Amino acid sequence: MQNRFEVNRRTATAVLAGGLVSGHESRTLNAAIETKREEPLTLGMGTYATKVLKTEKAISLISDTGFDSVELTVNAGWDAAPENMPAQRRVEISQQLKASGLHLTSLMEHTVPSKDNAKAAENLQRIQRAASLSRDLATHEPPVIQTVLGGGKWEEQKNLFVDRVSKWGEAAAKFGVTVLVKPHRGAAMSTPADGVWLVEKINNKHVRLCYDYSHFIYRDLDLVKTIHQAAPYTQHIAIKDTVKSPDGGFQFVLPGEAGTIDYVKLLQTFYDDGYRGDICCEVSGMVWSKRGYDPVAAVKTCYKNVAKVFAEAGIKRPA
């Protein structure tokens, strides 16, 4: 689900305060602001949490738990990868999604830019296949494709990223699909500022951002400031908690488990900045790779923790 609203609350309020509109226009803007506050955000769950389950079973689990939406992991080697989704299975999963009432909001496809031209061509084909899958499975508007961009140093990699991701956006646009890049802790593109620079440099509406504060916490990157910075270009939000490790590093844990991120403030700030998309629970590989991990329990815990955040934040969900 895309961030469809170009006029956000802060912009409209500034215009009103500056006396730059007529009385009729002022009433119209105020009405638009209040109407937007009545619109829902979706609470989603990603199948990155359910690698051991078939996609059909994961969809049923996520729907039965009470989520509004789902993100399918389509990485190479995963059950929902495009190469594992022949035409008939696509039809059946599309029908299952529609019958369940779940919005399919995103496909996670971790395809990183490469300096090697042959590998770059292969990666572009993966984006094209993911975009085709997005169109085939769409329950509402086509789900976005979100990915990280890999390691290295920003100054050394950013021009490569512009070149490769530009081509991804052009390819996805042919299917009516948007590619999202996610700033990632420790990666070459690691901050919202990096992401905004890249999106603006590419200048294609089919290339936007995925926001995930778990990659910014403990780095002197303020929650509210990063939201204001990223919101104009954000079309998907992933959430999970981050805790400090005894060795000075960090660990990802289930969203809401550690209480390290103020999700009420996150939802309210994004909402007031005009975001009308998905809030997707993500379970890190740091969690699901551990011995004894239970995907069913993890999905249910994510729902319990985050559903109450929506209530506390006063954010509506789809009926």
The one-character DSSP state at 22 is -
CA distance 119 to 213: 30
* Phi and psi at residue 148, to the nearest 5°: -100, 170
Mean pLDDT of 130-150: 97
- Cα 199 to its chain centre, rounded Å, is 15
H or E element that contains 145: strand 144-147
The domain segmentation of the chain, as residue ranges, is 41-313
User: Residue 5 pLDDT > 70, yes or no?
Assistant: no
Under 8 Å CB-to-CB from 98, ≥6 apart: which residues?
A: 139
pLDDT tens per residue, range 84-116: 999 999 999 999 999 999 999 999 999 999 999
34-43 pLDDT per residue, tens: 444 479 999 9
- Cα–Cα distance, 230 to 270 (Å, whole number): 9
DSSP designation for 143:
P
* pLDDT of 171 above 60: yes
Residue 319: predicted pLDDT? 85
Residue 246 reports pLDDT greater than 60: yes
Share of the chain above pLDDT 70, in %: 88
* Confidence band for 247, pLDDT divided at 50, 70 and 90: confident
Question: What is the per-residue pLDDT for 245?
Answer: 86
- What pLDDT score does 22 carry? 38
Instruction: State pTM to two decimals.
Output: 0.89
Q: Mean pLDDT across the stretch 263-282?
A: 97
pLDDT band for position 77 (cuts 50, 70, 90): very high
What are the residue ranges of helices labelled H in the chain? Answer: 9-17, 23-37, 55-65, 87-100, 117-137, 154-173, 192-202, 223-230, 263-272, 285-288, 295-313
CA distances from 154 to 93, 194, 197, 220 (A): 39, 8, 11, 18
Beta bridge mates, 179: 145, 207
Count of residues in the chain = 319
CATH topology of domain 41-313: TIM Barrel (3.20.20)
Q: Which residues contact 60 (CB under 8 A, 6 or more apart)?
A: 96, 100
> Do residues 107 and 143 touch, judged by C-beta distance below 8 A?
yes
pLDDT exceeds cutoff 90 at 23: no
Q: Is the pLDDT confidence value at 208 over 80?
A: yes
Number of H helices and number of E strands within the chain? 11, 10
Q: What is the pLDDT of residue 149?
A: 97
Judge contact between 139 and 99, C-beta under 8 A.
no
Task: Give the C-alpha separation, 37 to 35, whole Å.
Answer: 5
108 and 48 in contact (C-beta within 8 Å)?
yes
What confidence score (pLDDT) does residue 13 get?
Answer: 36
